[in-house]
Amino acid sequence: MRIQRSTSKKKLILLAALVIAAILGGAIYLYRDNLGITGSKDASSNIDYSPPSDEQREGEKTAEQQTDNSDTSGDKTNSPDTHTSVGVEITSANQNGNTLQIRTLVQLVTNDGTCTITLTKEGSDSIKKSATIQAATTYSICQGFNISTSDMTPGVWNIALAFENSSHSGSTTSTVEIK
């Protein structure tokens, strides 16, 4: 007399496929969770990972237009003491509670260089901060400036942005009102 087993090959294959699907689903969930794909700001740094604001998008469009309209026929050879001029822009400067958030754009694709922000106001101590640069597809950005307003007196402050690397430099100015 022969005893038949209730498990067939089809049932084993189906069970194996379900186990693999569950493992893959869990791995994808953990991968996304570890990356922090939520659009929020990482609490351990000053880098803002949230989607760009309307002002930042508008600054990107302006920079792209200026890049498209720029004259590239000039002499680009560099001596050790000469930097090629590059356009830089302050795309937003907004006070958010006790933090002044400044976002910038450099019309050059590079990961090499430093951005420096200097804030000045008559009768107040100047504030100077530096940040590294990060390349995007057609431009670069300074990795963001989040500056505490606790040492800033209310009123209009002057902002001076300077970018420099081994072969390029540029600067611009703007103002922001601290309340």
pTM: 0.54
- The answer on 152 and 103 residing in a single domain is yes
Nearest to 173 by CA among 88, 101, 69: 88
pLDDT digits (tens, 9 = 90+) for 133-174: 999 989 999 988 999 998 899 999 999 999 999 999 999 999
Domain region containing 18: 7-37
- The answer on 110 and 137 residing in a single domain is yes
Q: How far apart are CA 63 and CA 44, in angstroms?
A: 30
- The answer on 103 and 33 residing in a single domain is no
- The answer on 89 and 17 residing in a single domain is no
In a domain, 42, yes or no: no
CATH for 104: 2.60.40.1930
In a domain, 105, yes or no: yes
- The answer on 64 and 128 residing in a single domain is yes
In a domain, 24, yes or no: yes
Least confident of 39-43, 80-84, 102-106, 174-178: 39-43
- The answer on 61 and 26 residing in a single domain is no
- The answer on 105 and 24 residing in a single domain is no
Confidence (pLDDT) at 51: 75
Q: Over the range 149-165, which residues count as b (16 or more CB within 10 Å of their CB) and which as e? A: beebeeeebebbbbbbb
Q: How far apart are CA 102 and CA 146, in angstroms?
A: 7
The tokens 């106001």 sit on which residue?
Answer: 121
- The answer on 33 and 92 residing in a single domain is no
- The answer on 164 and 120 residing in a single domain is yes
Could you give the number of structural domains in the chain?
Answer: 2
49 Cβ neighbours under 8 A, 6+ residues apart: 36, 39, 40, 41, 42
